[in-house]
Structure 1
Amino acid sequence: MLRLSALAGATGVLTLAPVSSAAASDSAPAGGHPGGSGGIPPEGSMQTRVVTGHLPTGAADFVHLPVEVPRGVRQIAVSYGYDRPAVPPGTQGNACDIGIFDQHGTDVGGRGFRGWSGGARTEFAISADTATPGYLAGPVGAGTWHVVLGPYTVAPQGLDYSVTVTLTFGAPAAAQVPNYPPDHATGRGRAWYRGDCHLHSVHSDGKRTLEQLAALARAAGLDFINSSDHNTTSAHAHLGAVSGDDLLILTGEEVTTRNGHYLAIGLDAGEWIDWRYRARDDAFGRFARQIRRAGGIVVPAHPYAPSLAGQWKFGYDDVDAIEVWNGPWTLDDELTLLTWDNLLTGAARRGDGHWIPAMGNSDAHRDPDVVGLPQTVVLADGLNRRALQAGLRAGTSWIAESAAVRLSFTASGPRGEHAGIGERLPVARDAAVTVRLEAGGVPAGTVVRLMTDEGQMVGAPLPASGVLEWSTTASLASYVRAEVRRPAPDGGASGLPGPALALTNPIWLGRK
């Protein structure tokens, strides 16, 4: 029997008939007995049930398989598979994610989440002391658990699936003690700190261990990183072992919805953010508020990503920054940069001082993805979570291709007024303003673009001195920001500039 239901304020759900351990096939260890004390099977005995089914095209976003878990279960293990029939060119084939919720239920934003691996794994196990990466260790409590299938895409022929659930009985081991990272490191006081806030590990669809990620971050010259595995916080409990005074590790998540992805950066350790909603469900604001209550910031990731469901469709009214540069520079980064610049122009028109800063991250998953390409360079009062987030929110930051790239960008007025990246230069509208860019660690042929609310005002090779100056007024430019670019690969024939080497947040000109 199938039962249709819906999560409140969320995407559609299909609920299957429950799996009861009483109907499962029992197997006892050698020399064991069919029953244990109080009706609980003996130590080490297992009960297994295999469920198969078919999902047609247009299936609900999530398929729930209820699993009745009795008392005395030490471990729950799940494996699954599905068919991948051939499909015509340009047609989506089968892709099905998996995760699990425990006896606390499947309510959106509720307490029941115990793990998600998307399509990265075909099996997982959970017990009190350990869990497969992507899943949360803890007691296997009695009650109704739910294996959750996420049919990401379904072929015209439909999707045939098979799920195997195995319960192992026995006394639970001692619970895992989480080793969360500290929220501060020694740092250099008020200084520029380099970080990469979009990284994936074996706890989602990445191929690198946490140890490997931390080593690569150190080698890239980073001061901080943010853990951002898809839809799970399972890495948080293990990050303390790889952090240190030389590398601050923030605990976060990449929230992967069906209408775009966003980063929750610098959450309280262990805080999980639900992803099971679309733009039409009007739920994004609720989870953005949860992130801020948990000490984090909200950053849409790769808004024009070409992957299915990767385009950002929630708008920008409830975000703290925008990831305008994601990994090696591509056309979708160019589109995001244009969208962001239009948002700056809107902020200039409003004149209320509120604007959305830009940041860049690598989104590194596996070799040869480069950790720290790009990286966000933040002016902060210290190397700690609160100070870094304050800098990101304020936009006192710029984006670099690597730690080799150095940059200074300032504006000054006729009476000694001075402002840096993300700040405002308080001068009269007709006062002369000198904008100064100094760049180093960039190759010969580097091009500098100075952009305002009117568009590109300067586009010139970087002088041999590494310094470029431009004069303007606040009446001509409400803001000015800098782009440091490689030469256009086609000599400019396409009309597109070359890949970015560095991008800055704006300096705002004029009094409010």
Structure 2
Amino acid sequence: MYEITLCKAITKEEEGRYLEVPFPMPEKTERIDVAYEIIDKGAVTSVVDLGIRDDSRVRGWSGGARKSFYLTVEKATPGYLPGSLKPGEWAVLLGGYKIAKTGCEVKITIQFTMREPRWYKGDLHTHSNHSDGMYSLEEVVSIAEKHQLDFIALTDHNTVSQNFCFPKENNIVFIAGMEFTTHHGHCNFLGVADPVRDFRVSSSEEALAKVAEARQSGALIVLNHPHCSFCPWEWSMDVAYDCVEIWNGPWREDNQRTLDWWQQQLSLGRKIVAVGGSDVHRPHPFIRHGFPTTWIYSEGRDTSSLLQALRQGHTFITYAPEAPTVHLRYRDKMMGDQACVKEGNINTAFTGLAEGDHIRFYTNRGLAAEHIATENIQRYQVEVKNEKFLRAEVWRKFNIPDVIDAYLPVTISNPIYFNTKE
């Protein structure tokens, strides 16, 4: 973040005029905050209106009602339009409504928050009272903020009304969604407010056509809980999807079956992005927002950037919002990327570990290495030779009387892939 200060003197003769104070919008701006102060030269108070334009249109006007405003790609102060913060010449707009005879000076402060890659965490599978959930949208926001989630996808069953009334005045990135719910499987359509005109299907051909329609509209497709005991994906697996939900709600045998299937597919040479989602509907001791949490390494804090990073596989899953994190690196390549390496060492790092956590590394040959954590932060170099991929899991012993006494995963990474050709 950095800040600039602009000053504009306004004379009595400019009363009733609209004035511009130009400034350059830097590249890779994620958010701007504009505030102004009117400094009078005498005892009479001047009234100066406030607004802003980009290089092609007025983006907002609040008159004398506000002393500050902000703009981002997806949100803005009421009275202002969210949207692209494209580089170029912008201008703060001033209106000389009532100017003292001695004139005044307007001091304008602009803060630029720059886009920079970092990790964002959230929940990609939730329900509200717009379908069969119990939570209002305001309650969803409150819970997400409580767990310090950065984003949340509302994926109500076969409806999109929630996408048009998500509360704006908060810091949560809302990802528009719909859970395409059929008698033979569920999948999420993410990133588009109204991805299909009709959800009803009665055959595999119709289901695949509906998924194709959503994808054509720009939606990211996630196959949900494909090995669920109650609602598995029974349509063709040849459907064009972007991700698979390998972790749905609390860890259970259904998730383990999907994890095993995913490992098999990766070993066959397929590149499949794994994600998680709580599938929360109502208050429950174990099914809660952010349990599990999907982490995304994104260039920006907006839906488009987050979903682009998700498509690239720059993501890992944890059992809760506060849990061990994982990083796999080979030079400038990370999870989801393909590195050109036939033989070499992959740098790995874990934070938030508990003593006794089991750290496991998998390749297409199966379990490649296992370590027991002795410290909160652990780093390892994993040697690979002619492998297709490397991924990591962290397992922890949970002992809750009368509930569970077992090792369960707390972190699952996506793979870093290898091109072993010379």
| TM superposition score normalised by structure 1 | 0.56
154, 177, 199: which one pairs with 1:275?
A: 199
Q: Which residue of 1 aligns with 2:174?
A: 249
- Alignment correspondent of 1:452: 363
Residue 160 of structure 2 is aligned to residue 237 of structure 1: no
Identify unmatched segments of 5+ residues in structure 1. 1-180, 349-354, 491-495
- What do the CA deviations read for 1:395-422 (whole angstroms, capped 9, x no partner)? 011111222224232243xxxx342111
Relative to structure 1, the CA distance from residue 465 to residue 503 in structure 2 (aligned partners, 3 Å threshold; closer, same or farther) is same
Q: Take 1:223 and 1:270, find their aligned partners in 2: how far apart are those partners?
A: 23
SS in 2 for 1:450: strand
Could you report, residue by residue, the CA deviation over 1:270-321 in whole angstroms, capped at 9, with x for unpaired residues?
444543225x4312332222222322111011112222x4444331541000
Measured after TM superposition, the shift of residue 330 of structure 1 is 0.8
Instruction: Evaluate the alpha carbon distance shift between residue 465 and residue 406 of structure 1 in structure 2; reply closer, same or farther with a 3 A threshold.
Output: closer
Q: In the alignment, does 2:381 pair up with 1:464?
A: no
Deviation at 1:488, TM superposition (A): 7.7
The answer for the alignment partner of 2:288 in structure 1 is 370
**Partner letter of residue 435 of structure 1?**
I
Contact 1:207 1:366 in 2 (8 A): yes
Answer whether contact 1:409 1:420 (CA < 8 A) is retained.
yes
Matching residue of 1:265: 190
Q: What is the alpha-carbon distance in structure 1 between the residues aligned to residue 190 and residue 358 of structure 2?
A: 32
Tell me what 2:240 maps to: 318
Of 193, 203, 223, 1:300 maps to 223
Aligned partners of 2:176 and 2:326: how far apart in 1? 30
Matched AA of 1:421: M
State the alpha-carbon separation in 2 of the partners of residues 373 and 395 from structure 1: 20
Query: What is the identity, as a one-letter code, of the residue corresponding to 1:276?
Result: R
Q: Describe the SS at the equivalent of 1:459.
A: strand
User: For structure 2, which runs of at least 5 residues remain unmatched after alignment?
Assistant: 1-80, 86-112
Between the aligned residues of both structures, percent identity stands at 28
Q: Which residue in 2 is equivalent to 1:359?
A: 275
Q: What corresponds to 1:87 in structure 2?
A: none
**Separation in structure 2 between the aligned mates of residue 231 and residue 339 of structure 1, nearest angstrom:** 27
Distance (Å, rounded) in 2 between the aligned partners of 1:219 and 1:282 = 43
- Separation (CA, whole Å) in 1 of partners of 2:241 and 2:420: 25
Q: Tell me if 1:339 matches 2:261.
A: yes
Q: CA deviation at 1:260?
A: 0.5
Offset from partner CA, 1:358-403 (integer Å, 9 cap, x none): 0011111111231001111111111122211111111011111222
1:233 Cα shift? 1.0
> 1:252 is aligned with what amino acid?
G
Distance 1:321 1:264 in 2: 11
Q: Distance in 1 between matches of 2:357 and 2:238?
A: 32
Matched residue pairs, number? 308
Q: Distance in 2 between matches of 1:258 and 1:184?
A: 40
Q: Secondary structure at the match of 1:444?
A: coil
Q: 1:149 is matched with which residue?
A: none
Q: How does 1:30-179 map to 2 (within 5 A)?
A: none
Check 1:445–1:221 CA distance in 2 against 1; reply closer, same or farther (3 A cut).
Answer: same
Residue aligning to 1:41: none
Code of the aligned partner of 1:444: E
Tell me by how many angstroms 1:187 deviates: 8.2
Q: 1:393 to 1:184 in 2, by over 3 A?
A: farther
- The alpha-carbon deviation at position 200 of structure 1 amounts to 0.5
Amino acid aligned to 2:275: M
In structure 1, the residue matched to 2:396 is 486
Partner of 2:268, secondary structure, is: helix
Where does residue 214 of structure 1 map in the other structure?
A: 141
- TM-score, normalised relative to structure 2: 0.67
Cα deviation per residue 1:6-57 (whole Å; 9 max; x = unaligned)?
xxxxxxxxxxxxxxxxxxxxxxxxxxxxxxxxxxxxxxxxxxxxxxxxxxxx
Alignment of 1:290 with 2:199, yes or no, is no
Q: Which residue of 2 aligns with 1:437?
A: 348
Q: What SS does the corresponding residue of 1:295 show, helix, strand or coil?
A: coil
| Structure 1 residue identity aligned to 2:297 | L
Query: Larger % of strand: which?
Result: 2
Check conservation: 2:131, 2:159, Cα contact below 8 A: yes
What does 1:415-426 align with in structure 2 at a 5 Å threshold? Answer: 417-426=331-340
TM-aligned CA distance change 1:497 to 1:297, over 3 Å: farther
Query: Any conservation in 2 of the 1:183–1:249 contact (CA below 8 Å)?
Result: no
Is the partner of 1:298 in helix, strand or coil? Answer: strand
Whether the aligned pair in 2 keeps the contact of 1:214 and 1:243 (CA below 8 Å) is no
Q: Which amino acid aligns with 1:425?
A: A
Checking the alignment, whether the CA contact within 8 Å between 2:389 and 2:415 is kept in structure 1 is yes
C-alpha distance in structure 2 between counterparts of 1:262 and 1:298, whole Å: 7
Contact 2:362 2:390 in 1 (8 A): yes
The letter of the residue matching 2:333 is A
Q: Give, in angstroms, the shift of residue 238 of structure 1.
A: 1.3
- The residue that corresponds to 1:506 in the other structure is 415
